[in-house]
Amino acid sequence: MTAPSTDNLRVDGDRLWSTLTDTARFGATAKGGLCRLALSEEDAAVRRWFVSACEAAGCSVDVDELGTLFARRPGADPALAPIAIGSHLDTQPTGGRFDGILGVLAGLEIVRVLNDAGVVTRHPIEIIDWTNEEGARFAPAMLASGVFAGAFDADYARSRTDRDGVTFAAALAAIGFAGERPAGDHPLAAHFELHIEQGPVLEDAGTQIGVVIGVQGIRWMDVAVSGLACHAGTTPMALRRDALQGAARLAAAVDAVGRSEPGVSLSTIGIFQAHPGSRNTVPETISMSIDLRHPRAEGLDRMEADVRAAAATIAAELGVEIAIIPVWSSAPVVFAPACVGAVRAAVADLGYSHQDIVSGAGHDSVYISRVAPTGMIFIPCEDGISHNEAENITPAQARAGADVLLRAVLAFDAAP
Amino acid sequence: MTAPSTDNLRVDGDRLWSTLTDTARFGATAKGGLCRLALSEEDAAVRRWFVSACEAAGCSVDVDELGTLFARRPGADPALAPIAIGSHLDTQPTGGRFDGILGVLAGLEIVRVLNDAGVVTRHPIEIIDWTNEEGARFAPAMLASGVFAGAFDADYARSRTDRDGVTFAAALAAIGFAGERPAGDHPLAAHFELHIEQGPVLEDAGTQIGVVIGVQGIRWMDVAVSGLACHAGTTPMALRRDALQGAARLAAAVDAVGRSEPGVSLSTIGIFQAHPGSRNTVPETISMSIDLRHPRAEGLDRMEADVRAAAATIAAELGVEIAIIPVWSSAPVVFAPACVGAVRAAVADLGYSHQDIVSGAGHDSVYISRVAPTGMIFIPCEDGISHNEAENITPAQARAGADVLLRAVLAFDAAP
């Protein structure tokens, strides 16, 4: 590949948009969204279309033991591992038309435009459709990419069941997409994923492209605030040990911790329930959840320490007990500098407004980053709405994202 | 009656305590409390004992159409209405030995001590056992005193059913205590009630007697705080409209309103629930209750206005909506100066430590205050606990309360 031949290479935005809208017939819902649960008939239909479209674009298509599809466009150097462009074609039960799908179909568009221009890359290019990213039919989410990266084993994945008791293995066999190739059988030179943001940050800032630098870490905790139930009419304020007031103060402290690094740290209390829940009884106990997020482990450590310090102060002030129990955590992911750099260079070349962003949601790239240099590109989505039939983007946003993806892949391919 | 003959008159504390403990056999529970539901066999048993004890003390006992017992000791002036000493002998299902019972049995002790001393009062004295004060078997509470005062009519009371579908009328007939006399057929010169505080104020202050100046008013409100549900991982703090944080701030404001007049104003949030209640979703809506209490209507007005002003400020700050809907209220009661004055004079004469107090709970005196000058006397109870088998007082506390009651009745009787 030589630089002059690709500097002005752009995707065909109209063709990409047509592909996105045409294939939205597979699992289309009345409200304009998609219901394309993993390994369903609708998923099978889009897979059959995808295989034939990739083969028509000159790719060889392979399928692994978990149904993940790998469509390969050969490269010039047979010793190099492929540069993957991966995401997923499955959706939530009332999902949108772009979550995951954009990342796979942009891969197809890139192969098509490379074909049209007669470009031969050094590395093979692999478009990947990871099976069961959503986790909506078979929990957990990101199942096939998790197996590929060694987070789960394949038998675990095959034994997952949907709500009707159908196993992943049975559903995979039923649609005819169980391959022979073991999951994770080959190295990837890199993994790039174009995705809608699924949040409001880029739209709110009026930014066209998000350069995803990593995935935030998460800590989930259960909190029990215990005081003394007493009569609302006969117990003076000064003699109360009011669990609800303790919890309300802790909620404010958790909010302050979330706001401590604007645009970086996040905190959420999603569950909050008072017991016994009687109008004229001061609550004895509050059950609440805390969700803390930060791109760096030391940030999470600091946030958790601040929450615990606030809890100790509040407990002493109000005479209540506050127990904070960790229930789950996910370590932060920092994407590979080579991939992030390729995305950053691509955006700069193309002149799109851009900003660094940390992914708040899980993606196949989170697991794949364990086994391959990984980068992601975000584009805005309307009102930040996703996992919803109203999920929407514009053709220009899709084209911009795909152009950045194309140039990032080419930049990575060209790097020494 | 002449002053010299009663200045040194005191109840017989041992006799009062024996009466309290002996009659605790009617409905005794294994844990040392009482289960003496209104119009039950246990209630019938204590009623039979009470009638015979009053008759033995020279009283004539009458019963009204709702089973309320009136035990009358004649006075010197047949033109005067009786001074009533009333409370109730029924209990909660796991109730204590003193709530209500102390007020009735102290009346009996007073009649006995007046007999022993040969004192003839100007007014008749009536000891009253009001039917179904607790409301534990037949809702609402304070049913017979409510009918006496015109708050309900007698047919309404008779039609109330317990959880087995038995009507008040049927239960009353079954125990043989349905009288002919209409409820509320005769005026009362005054109504005095000695009661345990059922809260921690007096014990906490180390005060022997509470001079009850009235009953606080209550306002109940339902609150809905509405924001926007969004993803805990992808929505920056600055772009959230977090219903939970709005509700937590409102809870703090409600607490501050409750603390605005220490020892006077009260506020409680007993119900607080987040929806949808998912750990990684910012809550869309919070449902909560507010209970405001104050002895004066203007105090309640000010508290409610402060809560509404805080809600408006919080709603604007956080971009949430806060709807506050009144659901029930009870106007404050101010007891008659003549009765409160008689209690105050009695305490001063006897030298007990005392303080003014506003009742936080409902009592028969609340209704009776609508139709007769009314006063109440509180004594401390252990740890402020009531409606519980662990409810407890000391013999000295019972005696002190009964002595104050005796002297208040005599003071009222002697007043011009």
Note which residues in 180-209 of chain A have CB less than 8 A from chain B: 197-201, 204
The closest CB to that of A291, out of B269, B280, B286, belongs to B280
pLDDT given for residue A330 in this prediction: 87
Cα end-to-end distance, chain B, whole Å: 12
Given a cut of 60, whether residue B302 has pLDDT beyond it is yes
User: Across the interface, do A245 and B251 touch by the CB < 8 Å criterion?
Assistant: yes
For residue B276, say if its preceding peptide bond is cis, omega within 30 degrees of 0.
Answer: yes
Q: Output phi, psi for A371, to 5 deg.
A: -125, -5
C-beta of residue B83 within 8 angstroms of C-beta of residue B70: no
Choose among B198, B204, B233: nearest Cβ to A266: B233
Q: How far apart are CA A244 and CA B259, in angstroms?
A: 15
* Three-state SS at B22: helix
Q: Do A268 and B282 touch (CB under 8 A)?
A: yes
ipTM score of the complex? 0.82
The answer to whether the bond into B380 is cis (omega within 30° of 0) is no
The torsion angle over the Cα atoms of residues A309, A310, A314 and A316, rounded to 10 degrees, is: 10
Collapsing DSSP to helix, strand or coil, B126 comes out as: strand
Collect all residues of chain A within an 8 Å Cβ-Cβ radius of residue B216. 233
Mean pLDDT of B333-357: 97
Cross-chain CB nearest to A234 (options B244, B259, B361): B361
Distance from CA of B303 to the nearest CA of A (A): 14
Mark yes or no for CB contact A361/B239 under 8 Å: no
Higher-scoring residue by pLDDT: B1, B405: B405
What are the C-alpha distances in Å from A167 to residues A36, A155, B28?
17, 11, 60
Burial label for B99, CB within 10 Å (0-12, 13-18, 19+), is buried
pTM for the whole structure: 0.82
Q: Do B245 and A266 touch (CB under 8 A)?
A: no
Nearest to A266 among B232, B249, B274 (CB): B232
Helix or strand run (H / E) with residue B379: strand B374-379
Coil, strand or helix at B77? coil
Does A317 touch chain B if contact means CB atoms closer than 8 Å?
no
Question: What mean pLDDT comes out for the span B166-179?
Answer: 98
- Distance of CA A345 to CAs A214, A405, A406, Å? 17, 11, 12
CB pairs under 8 A between A and B: 203
Contact A234 B269 (CB under 8 A): no
3-state secondary structure of B87: strand
Indicate the residue of A244, A267, A289 with minimum beta-carbon distance to B272: A244
Residues 6+ apart with CB under 8 A from A211: A340, A343, A344, A347, A354, A355, A356, A357, A377
Which of B237, B249, B261 is best to mutate for the A interface (most A CBs within 10 A)? B237
For residues B82 and B400, give the distance between their C-alpha atoms in angstroms, rounded to a whole number: 24
Nearest by Cα to A376 from A238, A257, A249, A198: A198
Q: What is the pLDDT of residue B168?
A: 98
Could B384 and A198 be called an inter-chain contact, meaning their C-beta atoms sit closer than 8 Å?
Answer: no
| The one-letter amino acid at A372 | A
Q: Which two three-digit tokens encode residue A411?
A: 């930049």
- For residue B2, what are its two tokens? 């002449």
Provide, as residue numbers in chain B, all residues whose Cβ is less than 8 Å from the Cβ of A245.
251-252, 255, 269
B220, B255, B281 ranked by CB distance to A245: nearest: B255
Please return the burial class of A245, using the count of CB atoms within 10 Å of its CB with bins 0-12, 13-18 and 19+.
Answer: buried
Q: What is the largest CA-CA distance in chain A?
A: 85
Determine the residue type at B158. R
Cβ within 8 Å of B, A 218-277: 218, 220, 230-239, 242, 244-245, 247-249, 251-252, 255, 258-259, 262-263, 265-274, 277
Chain A residues whose CB is inside 8 A of the B282 CB are: 268, 270
Q: On the CB side of A22, how many CA atoms lie within 13 Å of its CA?
A: 10
Q: Do A269 and B244 make contact, defined as CB atoms within 8 angstroms? A: yes
Instruction: Judge contact between A71 and A89, C-beta under 8 A.
Output: no
d(CA A265, CA A369): 22
Q: Hey, of A221, A228, A237, which one would you mutate to test binding to chain B, going by the most B CBs within 10 A of its CB?
A: A237
Per-residue pLDDT of B187-236, as tens digits, reads: 999 999 999 999 999 999 999 999 999 999 999 999 999 999 888 998 99
Q: How many residues does chain A have?
A: 416
Q: Work out the mean pLDDT of chain B and round it to a whole number.
A: 95
pLDDT tens column, B63-78: 999 999 999 999 999 8
Q: Which of A279, A294, A355, A363 to mutate to test the interface with B (most CBs of B within 10 A)?
A: A279
SS3 string of chain A?
CCHHHHCCCCCCHHHHHHHHHHHCCCCECCCCCECCCCCCHHHHHHHHHHHHHHHHCCCEEEEECCCCEEEEECCCCCCCCCEEEEECCCCCCCECCCCCHHHHHHHHHHHHHHHHHCCCCCCCEEEEECCCCCCCCCCCCCHHHHHHCCCCCHHHHHHCECCCCCEHHHHHHHHCCCCCECCCCCCCCEEEEEEECCCCHHHHHCCCEEEEEEECEEEEEEEEEECCCEECCCCCHHHCCCHHHHHHHHHHHHHHHHCCCCCCCEEECCCEEEECCCCCEECCEEEEEEEEEECCHHHHHHHHHHHHHHHHHHHHHHCCEEEEEEEEEECCEECCHHHHHHHHHHHHHHCCCEEEEEECCCCHHHHHCCCCCEEEEEECCHHHCCCCCCCCCCHHHHHHHHHHHHHHHHHHHHCC
For strand B83-87 and strand B125-129, is the pairing parallel, antiparallel, or unpaired? parallel
* Bridge pairing between strands B321-330 and B209-215: unpaired
Mean pLDDT of B332-354: 97
Using the beta-carbon criterion (under 8 Å), do A270 and B280 form an inter-chain contact? yes
Question: CA A330 from chain center: how many Å?
Answer: 13
Cis peptide before A295 (omega within 30 of 0): no
Phi, psi of B404 (to 5 degrees): -65, -40
Residues B238, A262: C-beta atoms closer than 8 Å: yes
CB half-sphere exposure, A101, CA atoms < 13 A: 35
Question: Rounded to an integer, what distance in angstroms lies between the CA atom of residue B204 and that of residue B211?
Answer: 16
The partner residue sitting opposite B199, judged by closest CB among A234, A265, A279, is A234
Both tokens of A127, joined, read 């478009």
| Per-residue pLDDT, A3 | 44
> Above 60 in pLDDT, residue B1?
no
- Tens-place pLDDT, residues B304-328: 999 999 999 999 999 999 999 998 8
Contact B234 A286 (CB under 8 A): no
Minimum Cα–Cα distance from A289: chain B residue: B279
Nearest to A248 among B201, B252, B273 (CB): B252
Beta-carbon separation of A277 and B283 below 8 A: no
Of B26, B30, B82, B67, the C-alpha closest to B49 is B26
- Please answer whether residues B406 and B11 qualify as being in contact, where contact means their C-beta atoms are separated by less than 8 angstroms: yes
Residues 6+ apart with CB under 8 A from B361: A231, A233, A234, B198, B199
Does residue B90 surpass a pLDDT of 60?
yes
Phi, psi of A62 (to 5 degrees): -120, 160
Residues of B in contact with A217 (CB under 8 A): none
Instruction: Compare all CA atoms of chain B with the CA of A260 and give the residue at the minimum distance.
Output: B237
**In B32-160, which ranges are continuous DSSP H helix?**
41-56, 101-117, 143-148, 154-159
The pLDDT assigned to A384 comes to 92
pLDDT along chain A (416 residues), means of 10: 70 98 97 96 98 98 98 96 98 94 98 97 98 93 96 96 96 97 95 96 97 95 95 92 98 98 95 91 95 96 98 98 93 96 96 95 94 98 92 98 98 92
DSSP B25: G
Q: How far is A324 from chain B (nearest CA, A)?
A: 15
Which residues numbered 59-78 in B keep a CB inside 8 Å of some CB on A? Answer: none
Q: Are B235 and A384 inside 8 Å of each other by CB?
A: yes
Cis preceding linkage at A140, omega within 30: yes
Q: Which residue of A has its CA nearest to B362?
A: A233
The Cα of A220 is separated from the nearest Cα of chain B by a number of Å equal to 8
Whether residues A360 and B235 touch (CB distance < 8 A) is answered with yes
Beta-carbon-side half-sphere exposure of residue A335 (alpha carbons within 13 Å): 29
Tokens of A378: 């975000």
Domains recognised in chain B with CATH numbers: 3-215+332-414 (3.40.630.10), 217-330 (3.30.70.360)
One-letter-per-residue 3-state SS of A102-119: HHHHHHHHHHHHHHHHCC
pLDDT, tens only, B22-59: 999 999 999 999 999 999 999 999 999 999 999 999 99
Cβ-based burial of B264 (10 A; exposed 0-12, middle 13-18, buried ≥19): middle
Q: Which residues pair with A83 in a beta bridge?
A: A125, A190
Q: A217-226 and A321-330 as β-strands: parallel, antiparallel, unpaired?
A: antiparallel
